[in-house]
Structure 1
């Protein structure tokens, strides 16, 4: 190997957590559609002081929601950010977009997608789309839920939505949080409400969910005919009655009906500090994908690895198990994550922003197009893909759609960034304006299932090229 490889940070092979290492993403919410799971996340982004030093995350400037998706739960495609709030967002009445919740419903015979979000802690808005990745519109031009909504006047924090479309097609929204002064044990700030048939209106009066030590982070799922309301407990450091949820843990309640009554059961996920050595708020989403159940949650593992764990969070994934009696087992959060559930097919065009592991790279969307590229590519950077199935016959050639800048090479290695070399694609320098094209090279020695590493090399410190997509031929 003639190049000094840059090191992975945060997500290190073969681990699956955090899900990506080139961006942050907090407050995950899952939407399963077709053969993919889409995760919508608060778009945490670094804030700096006047000296350029990274400061504590204030959340005050977050007005976008990030989206990633996967069909195998290890390699994730970066769909970029949804511009939600502010003058450049779809919901121009809003100033922030936190803690999204997404859901799919067939209306009038057509697939419709709805994205709910918190405008800081003052209200909840909704966007709609015909696709899980947009484009999105604001269908009502104002908040869906405000303090003028019946039943929410006393909610301290009007945020953190979760949404359920039940088997009969009826929709429900769950939200709220905060602790009125001194009311730690019984805050009374969790709410549930019926959604209209159109999913962009609410009906009736919001009702209280009596969640013990409620703090934030509503969650909802249904399993075996039982409804599970999940939430994060508050950080009260005084004495708690026996059977109460400890501080900063994900707790759950159960019911036989989506609007309760609810019975408190216990906690299922300890605070991230217990598992990763860096504490903070605890936010989750529970979902079924194929025949298994998963819990997505966030922790400051990537920012910790970068030495800047100042409230910048990353999404993780682990298995979740329901017991025969309807209870939920304690979740063991870890860096390992979940098993890859299907192999990646290299003989179909793969978006370059589909990433298992990475070092040094970034991703960037291009104006007026849905295209997203891998950018910031320098000498020694790389992308890794997990579980690529080249088949018995094996690969004969590699083709990449590239925007050339300074030019360089893409080395193709198996199982490790410094593993066996199966091919090398030369990308010529642009020598002026950028050049976009497809380049092809022969490949040998790629048969069966392997991890694949695209290692980028060049002769100087400039950006070498931008990668759009790639695929192999047999």
Structure 2
């Protein structure tokens, strides 16, 4: 999407008219158009599932073929996990990957989505995966719900404290079913909510907060769809309408997503605020908010700054290049080494990573890169694209766009907390692809077994090792992390190292 915008000159216009947006945090994704946000918190990470508005619109209508997944541990830097599910995953569907939601149960992740059936009309499908980032597969081989073909869209799912799961959905009207424990079937009939919440149109988001049930939804406002909500003391209503939370902005449609994460409450929505944006080219944003004392939700303004960062980013562990707060010019793509990489990099493009804590200082930088051309440079700058230059990593040709190599450089002057700008420079055309990066400290001795960097070896380090072996984390937050965790010096970290660690804690070794 960004390359198309460049060709149209929209980014130049956008930067000229709204220069402050270059350093903004909303919308949270700029590499493509996203819509219909659906946050899910799992294992200390906030996952954000979105729809994807394609750059090229077909028949002057919503053109959406797949869903996307992003994640964050600080609510400002978001990692792109690509597409975990597409409309074509359902053999009975022909397209229209509209608003869905993911929930965790039975040690699996269930993705409820609407699609257009090959036989015509909308239906709700359910896909399943062992990972929040997918891939998801069709759980049934047929629709989960087929009720009213023109209105079966925008499912929202919630599991109550007693274990009963509910699936709400609907355009124009609001329906629900009670899902069974298996999450891929339901008991009883389909129930239409009557009366429906005031001005209800579509995009429901159902959840519970402090024993009060909330139905947040897209309502009909004075300038397109705004976001309104209703509450109830029962999961099935009746619903008491509470009014508007957020007005529409540059997009006729709207879709909410609400979640709590690390002690804060967050409100997701979409606008048409990116260059080339509008009703068919939407972009997801997020705001932090606090409930009023009586449980009501305040009016939430749309901002460019977004929420506060809940924790600083550690530059001394491996960070994915596609972990981004803001970017200019780049795109993401599937990486041959797994996950995603940053590609289509041209001279002057950059990535902003917010709130990076360099501590007492960094001495070197390493980047995993690939290039089929003469390459270019990664300029490491602080606080702006033209800010203090602390190092320049030269990237030469590696033999192909997916032929990966590590390139490094020395660092000087990177201390304390700063926004990090990875600015790309070089000749014309595409320069290189970028997989991950990591800074290293100088003269830091490796303490064998100290995996969290607190200069001690204790149960907290052992817990980190178990997470690493289970695949829940990929690195330890210390320099020379593999050396620190490889206690038996066989070149890998596995159950044998756990055994040595137990002896270390017991003072046997």
Place the TM-score, normalised by the shorter chain, in its bin.
0.7 to 0.9
The answer as to 2:199 corresponding to 1:213 is: yes
- Partner residue in 1 for 2:170: 176
> Is there any run of 5+ residues in structure 2 with no aligned partner, and where?
1-10, 442-509
* More RCO (CA 8 Å, sep 6+): 1
- Partner residue in 1 for 2:413: 445
Deviation at 1:310, TM superposition (A): 5.2
- Partner residue in 2 for 1:464: 431
- Partner residue in 2 for 1:135: 135
Contact 2:327–2:350 (Cα < 8 Å) also in 1: yes
1:404 and 1:279, CA in 2 relative to 1: closer, same or farther beyond 3 A? closer
* CA–CA separation in structure 2 for the residues paired with 1:286 and 1:311: 23
Deviation at 1:351, TM superposition (A): 0.6
SS of equivalent residue, structure 2 residue 122:
coil
* CA–CA separation in structure 2 for the residues paired with 1:84 and 1:48: 17
- Partner residue in 2 for 1:405: 372
* CA–CA separation in structure 1 for the residues paired with 2:327 and 2:235: 41
- Partner residue in 1 for 2:71: 69
Deviation at 1:259, TM superposition (A): 1.6
* CA–CA separation in structure 2 for the residues paired with 1:202 and 1:371: 34
* CA–CA separation in structure 1 for the residues paired with 2:204 and 2:314: 37
The answer as to 2:358 corresponding to 1:390 is: yes
Q: 1:251 aligns with which of 195, 219, 228?
A: 228
1:453 and 1:175, CA in 2 relative to 1: closer, same or farther beyond 3 A? same
* CA–CA separation in structure 2 for the residues paired with 1:398 and 1:247: 48
Deviates more, 1:130-139 or 1:293-302: 130-139
RMSD (CA atoms): 2.1
Map 1:42-441 onto structure 2 (within 5 A). 42-47=51-56, 56=60, 58-59=61-62, 61-86=63-88, 90-95=89-94, 96-105=96-105, 107=106, 111-120=107-116, 122-147=122-147, 153=148, 156-178=150-172, 189-209=173-193, 210-234=196-220, 248-272=225-249, 278-302=250-274, 306-307=275-276, 309=278, 311-366=280-335, 370-392=338-360, 394-406=361-373, 407-430=375-398, 435-441=403-409
* CA–CA separation in structure 2 for the residues paired with 1:230 and 1:434: 44
SS of equivalent residue, structure 1 residue 119:
strand
Deviation at 1:156, TM superposition (A): 4.7
More helix by share: 2
Per-residue CA deviation, residues 420-452 of structure 1 (Å, 9 max, x unaligned), is 111111111247786421111111111110011
The answer as to 2:28 corresponding to 1:19 is: yes
* CA–CA separation in structure 2 for the residues paired with 1:453 and 1:132: 29
SS of equivalent residue, structure 1 residue 43:
strand
User: Given the two structures, how large is their TM-score scaled by the length of structure 2?
Assistant: 0.78
1:365 and 1:379, CA in 2 relative to 1: closer, same or farther beyond 3 A? same
Deviation at 1:346, TM superposition (A): 0.4
1:174 and 1:308, CA in 2 relative to 1: closer, same or farther beyond 3 A? closer
Deviation at 1:91, TM superposition (A): 1.3
* CA–CA separation in structure 2 for the residues paired with 1:310 and 1:215: 16
SS of equivalent residue, structure 1 residue 12:
helix
* CA–CA separation in structure 2 for the residues paired with 1:351 and 1:427: 17
SS of equivalent residue, structure 1 residue 248:
strand
* CA–CA separation in structure 2 for the residues paired with 1:271 and 1:124: 26
Contact 2:341–2:433 (Cα < 8 Å) also in 1: yes
SS of equivalent residue, structure 1 residue 249:
strand
Deviation at 1:160, TM superposition (A): 0.4
SS of equivalent residue, structure 1 residue 47:
coil
Contact 1:29–1:40 (Cα < 8 Å) also in 2: yes
* CA–CA separation in structure 1 for the residues paired with 2:246 and 2:355: 29
Deviates more, 1:39-48 or 1:346-355: 39-48
* CA–CA separation in structure 1 for the residues paired with 2:139 and 2:329: 39
User: Given the two structures, how large is their TM-score scaled by the length of structure 1?
Assistant: 0.84
Deviation at 1:405, TM superposition (A): 2.3
Contact 1:115–1:126 (Cα < 8 Å) also in 2: yes
Deviation at 1:166, TM superposition (A): 1.6
Per-residue CA deviation, residues 372-407 of structure 1 (Å, 9 max, x unaligned), is 110011111111110000112x10110011012221
SS of equivalent residue, structure 1 residue 68:
strand
Aligned residues: 419
